[in-house]
Structure 1
Amino acid sequence: MKQLQQFFQDKTVHTLLDVGTGSGSFITVLKETFKHTRFTGIDPDMPSLEEAAKAHPDAEFKSMTGGQLEFPDSTFDAASISMAMHHLPNVQQTFKEMQRIVKPGGWIIINELFSNNLNAAQEVHKSMHHFRSTIDRLNGVCHNETFTREEILHHIEKAGLKICETFNQQKPHQEPSPEEITERKEKLTEMLNQVKDKPEYNELKQQIPEIEKALKQHGFQMATRVVVVAKVLKD
């Protein structure tokens, strides 16, 4: 992310906590900007943390949730959260915790996909994402539908953070092959089979051919993400 590199080119970040790190993919991105930073990643999912540790043996990983960070106040120079806001049971509680563990005047970086102003191929991605989020919720997993860009910025400002930089990021459009379309359909069917005993099963089943048709017609593109750099204001 060139914009991120430009913003932080004259700023020092020795330590950074990545919240909801998953397999550590955002740490990979952040390392392009923060060459000499010590990274810590947290996530409640142990298999994902094991993958992250393999990808980043120079970082530290711990199992915990964003709503209850087990670190002292003002531990890190910065914190980040990527593609995870829509997984949070309480967005404001997580932002509160992130601010607590970041030093005064430090930084919080948010990278989150949004649901509005998308093209047809991105709408395909959104429909697939919302299908999965519905399945997760039926299974008791916190997975909300995506926020609009305005809702994301509102959450950040509501938390008392000062927004210093925002920019959008897009991945390229893809024309999936017939094999890739079949593979995506099979993944949707596999997810659907997790809720065979739920009353919503038949309604969700009808969505799969609709998604398949849209995928053939429009292709696939990840929904646009907004990247926000916010400053922590506290005494």
Structure 2
Amino acid sequence: MEQLQHFFTNKPVRTLLDIGTGTGNFIAVLKKVFDNHVQILGVDPDEASLEEAAKIYPEATFKSMPGEKLAFADSTFDVASISMALHHLPNIQLTLKEMQRVVKPHGWIIVNELFSDNLNAAQEVHKKMHHFRSSIDRMNGVCHNETFTRKEIMEQIEASGLTISIAFDHDIELKSPSPAEISTRMQKLTEMLEQSSSHPDYEKMKIQLPEIELSLKKHGFQMATRVVVVSQVNK
């Protein structure tokens, strides 16, 4: 993300908190944006994901905790980030407020989130698959919302009191999936659904699988566009 690198050029950043870090996917981006002196701490309530992240990034630190209640003192970090996780949050505003609390005065918050509008056909397939998975999670009592529109994401950020400095869209290159990759994706969706075979909505969800497979074969698969927003903390 060259725009992100350019924005943070000559801005001193030594401590960074990554919220909802999962297996650490966004850390790879953060390490390219910031120099090797930055201390990265990733938090997530899922301990299994954090164990995987620690194997990939042994130089970073990981702790299990929710974004809505961060166990850090006020004004601890230069930057806080959250990537591909807004739609997983039970309370977006509370998490954004907590991020502002733990960031130093005039520090920065980075939001990287996929959105649901103005997508091409291959990206619509990704959205359809994401909504399928999110429906299954909700069937099992897990907070997993459908994809927000770009406008909704921006409104959530501004509603938290943040001042947006830059915002840009980021696309990941389209790669047509092979028959084997399509089969693997469909198998994962099927296995995920089968874990909820006793749920009243199971049959309704099951009939969506052939339609998703047909869309994959017809349009391919591309990650939905993401909006990257950098905001300054006003305190």
* AA of the residue aligned to 2:129: M
Q: Is 1:135 matched with 2:108?
A: no
Q: Is 1:221 the equivalent of 2:214?
A: no
1:21 to 2:21 alignment: yes
| TM-score between the two structures when normalised by the length of structure 1 | 0.98
Shift in Å at residue 128 of structure 1?
0.3
Q: What whole-Å deviation, never above 9, does each CA across 1:110-138 have from its counterpart, x for those lacking one?
A: 00000000011000000000000000010
In 2, the alpha carbon distance for the partners of 1:43 and 1:12 equals: 26
RMSD: 0.7
Q: Which runs of no fewer than 5 residues in structure 1 stay unpaired?
A: none
Give the drift of 1:19.
0.3
Whichever residue aligns with residue 5 of structure 1, its letter is Q
1:58 aligned partner = 59
SS of corresponding position for 1:11: coil
How many residue pairs align between the two structures?
234
What SS class does the counterpart of residue 181 from structure 2 fall into? helix
**Alignment pair present for 1:3 and 2:37:** no
Instruction: Map Cα deviations across residues 23-43 of structure 1 (whole Å, 9 max, x no partner).
Output: 111111101011121111100
Counterpart of 1:68, as a letter, is K
Counterpart CA distance in 1 for 2:136 and 2:80 is 30
Cα distance, 1:194 vs structure 2: 1.5
Q: Which moved more, 1:93-102 or 1:192-201?
A: 192-201
Q: Secondary structure at the match of 1:66?
A: coil
Structure 2 counterpart SS, 1:32: helix
Distance 1:10 1:190 in 2: 48
Contact 1:174 1:221 in 2 (8 A): yes
* Residues 70-105 of structure 1: CA deviation (Å, up to 9, x unaligned): 000000011000000000000000001000000110
Instruction: Indicate the SS of the match to 1:164.
Output: strand
Q: CA deviation at 1:52?
A: 1.2
- Larger deviation, residues 213-222 vs 183-192: 183-192
1:176 CA drift (Å):
1.4
Instruction: After TM superposition, list the pairs within 5 Å mapping 1:1-150 onto structure 2.
Output: 1-35=1-35, 36-150=37-151
| CA–CA distance in structure 2, aligned partners of residues 57 and 218 of structure 1 | 38
Aligned-pair CA distance for 1:207: 0.5
User: What SS does the aligned partner of 1:223 have?
Assistant: coil
Counterpart amino acid of residue 18 in structure 2: D
2:5 counterpart letter in structure 1: Q
Structure 1 residues 162-203: Cα deviation after superposition (integer angstroms, max 9, x where no partner):
000111111111221111111111111111101111111111
Asked whether the 8 Å contact 1:135–1:194 carries over to 2, the reply is: no
TM-score, length of structure 2 as denominator length: 0.98
1:210 matched to 2:180? The reply is no
Displacement of 1:55 in angstroms is 1.4
Instruction: Give the SS at the match of 1:215.
Output: helix
What is the match of residue 157 of structure 1? 158
Sequence identity (%): 65
Whole-Å Cα distance in 2 between the matches of residues 118 and 75 of structure 1? 38
The amino acid across from 1:185 in the alignment is M
2:154 maps to a residue whose letter is: L
Structure 1 segment 166-177 matched on structure 2, within 5 A: 166-177=167-178
Unaligned segments of structure 2, at least 5 residues: none
Cα distance in structure 2, aligned partners of 1:232 and 1:64: 22
